[in-house]
Amino acid sequence: MAQTRFAPDRGLTSRMVMTMFFIGLLYVVVVSALVVLLKGAWVVVLLIAGAMFVAQFWFSDRIAAFSMGAHEVTPEQAPELHGAVDRLCALADMPKPRVAIAESDVPNAFATGRNQKNSMVCATTGLLRRLEPEELEGVLAHELSHVAHRDVAVMTIASFLGVLAGIITRAALWSGVGRNNRDQNAAIAVLIVTAVSVVVYAISFLLTRLLSRYRELSADRAAAILTGRPSALASALTKVTGQIARIPTEDLRKAQPFNAFYFAPAFNKESFSQLLSSHPTLEQRLDQLGRIAAQLGRP
């Protein structure tokens, strides 16, 4: 990992390593099970799984940007946004990522990319309209922290296994395995593939949620320390959360699938349990920023 002036976070690093270890283990189990169950097609299974994994890793930034409606902008098109990113990158001593804007009234921001050289930071038009310059810099510093710590790449890879589990289930059903009622072994194979896929999806979902909540607190902490203005980030968090609550539900539902990548979740009460939430609560984030402000001696 290239060194930057963002505060290092050993807790985040250890959690990313553990998440990737368990995700990798699950990945091997799923592919191995599929190879055993589909004996005659093990080469095809390995090739498809490998190709999908490579495609997901190398094209994740483009997929995410396209899915969330982001389009890259030049300094002439968005001088204030580029200026803020320029200042933060100079302060953090890191390469400048591509800068994008998403046409959405939902006030939010996100970062994508497998490394610092292939990264993008995007803000929505709704965010740009609502935040003051210091608040916007706090949000952008939060997103740049994700890039510097490479947790964006880890989240993208970690989320892939859940997608693969769903594809495996559909492939097993569409392949015709078990359609012959006389072949009890084939029918059992379909049930096993489906059950394993469901379990794998559930485990990968929980792993990514646990990592996602911690990485948001880590990015808040790193951004507040880098800018020296935790109060500006706290103000942005409060404003964005309050404004999101006023956005039409239909617009929020379109954004909800990408909650794990956003600065703030599209729905404040997105799940009935904190265990399933992609973000820590607003109170947790503000409490941490308050402690950092006290440590820095800032109001």
List all residues 6 or more positions away from 290 whose beta carbon is below 8 Å from its beta carbon.
230, 234
DSSP 247-299: S-HHHHHHHGGGGGGBSS-S-TT-SSSGGG-SS--HHHHHHHHHHHHHHHT--
With left for phi above 0 and alpha for psi between -120 and 50, is residue 150 left, alpha or beta? left
b/e 16-39 (16+ beta carbons within 10 angstroms → b): beebbeebeebbeebbebbbebbe
DSSP 12-30: HHHHHHHHHHHHHHHHHHH
Is 279 annotated in a binding site? The answer is: no
Which is catalytic among the residues 134, 137, 143, 283? 143
C-alpha triplet 35, 41, 47: angle, nearest 5° = 80
Structure tokens at 86: 């320029």
- Is there a catalytic annotation at residue 143? yes
Q: Is there a contact between 180 and 28 (Cβ–Cβ < 8 Å)?
A: no
Is 216 annotated in a binding site? The answer is: yes
C-alpha triplet 168, 179, 187: angle, nearest 5° = 65
Q: How far apart are CA 266 and CA 95, in angstroms?
A: 29
Is 82 annotated in a binding site? The answer is: no
Residues assigned a catalytic role? 143
In the annotated binding site for Zn(2+), the residues are 142, 146, 216
In the annotated binding site, the residues are 142, 146, 216
